[in-house]
Amino acid sequence: GTSSSTASPPRNRGPPRLEAVAARVCTRLVEKGLLKTKPAFVRTDREAGICALLRKAGLEGADLTAYNDRRSLELRLQSALNGEACAWL
């Protein structure tokens, strides 16, 4: 049959997608005053950078939700940064 527009996406219960996580991180940065919303490319670029970092750290799919303590996750992300500064981490 055809799917209706009110049906839930099939991935709804799976692990969060990198793009969704990056968008949530950027929303929190905006709320805290650490990221500007204008011009729009600033947020778009930041989201892309966060996705790239998560991918580089190997945090896709179930690996993204496997951490139960913040410090271990921070260490994994920092190792993917190779010494670069990251204000949101």
pLDDT in tens, 51-81: 988 888 888 877 777 778 888 888 888 888 8
Q: What is the pLDDT of residues 16-25, one digit of tens each?
A: 788 888 999 8
Q: Are 18 and 54 in contact (CB under 8 A)?
A: yes
pLDDT for the residue numbered 11:
46
Most confident among 1-5, 6-10, 29-33, 63-67 (mean pLDDT)? 29-33
- pTM (2 d.p.): 0.70
Q: Are 62 and 15 in contact (CB under 8 A)?
A: yes
